[in-house]
Amino acid sequence: MITTKEIKINNITIGANSSLLLIAGPCVIEDEDTVLETARRLKEISERLHIPLIFKSSYDKANRTSLKGFRGPGLKKGLKILQAVKEKYGLLILSDVHSVEEVKPAAEVLDVLQIPAFLCRQTDLILEASKTGKPVNIKKGQFLAPWDVKNIIEKFTSTGNEKLLLTERGTSFGYNNLVVDMRGIVIMRSFGYPVIFDATHSVQLPGGQGTSSGGQREFASYLAKAAVAVGIDGLFMEVHPTPDKALCDGPNMIPLSEVEDLLTILLKIQQVVGK
């Protein structure tokens, strides 16, 4: 059995033999009310199921398919809304950083910085995020093999920061499609750092709708079950009260009303197979 490092974030422990972590929230900040309501309901679910939660939502989606795609409120306003979530519900907060210049102001609010998949090879961004001393979740690019994350690890840990999470989110498979190779989870965990599985971006159809990405949310729960059975340290999934009306990534987000039932099943699978 592969054992990873323990990463501690306040009162949450990730990796080793700790319980399954949940990273969840809307893809992007649409408005403060939606974010706060989603955070409230996720907190209630996580407390009922005794599952540690990190709330996620992006203040900016800098890699939209189209120039007209909704990007979010931006750095300043978005961080203010995330700070409100933190203060009102006491949740740990994660969001994406896209440039070296964003890292410092974002780190003043965020508990975990996230480097998006498309930027996972950007050396300066990785180093700047690492230098904050904060935990960082780096998503493996859909263009990388699982063993390629060794180079990411080397870059990140070169500053002395070992608080690293790695996320699997599928691999490009032809045009406008992704596929998940579950072997990759095992390979990535063998490098000693906790691995998160992104159940919703793994069913994305990049650019599949011409000016936006499509998705097949109906398969997200199946992939999540498989990933937990293989052995992961945490589950990443974007959720929304009404995904079909969402301004970003609606086709692959999970309805908030379905989250608790899915997590209940996943926890039972983990109890049976362990890690």
Q: What is the pLDDT of residues 13-28, one digit of tens each?
A: 999 889 999 999 999 9
Count of structural domains within the chain: 1
Residue 184 falls inside a structural domain = yes
Residue 161 falls inside a structural domain = yes
User: Per-residue pLDDT for 146 more than 90?
Assistant: yes
Residue 193 falls inside a structural domain = yes
pLDDT, mean of residues 193-200:
97
Q: What's the pTM? A: 0.96
User: For residue 198, what is the domain's CATH number?
Assistant: 3.20.20.70
Residue 205 falls inside a structural domain = yes
Residue 1 falls inside a structural domain = no
Which band of pLDDT confidence, cut at 50, 70 and 90, is reported for residue 62?
confident
CB atoms within 10 A of CB 90: 9
Residue 89 falls inside a structural domain = yes
User: 107: domain range?
Assistant: 7-273
Residue 70 falls inside a structural domain = yes
Residue 2 falls inside a structural domain = no
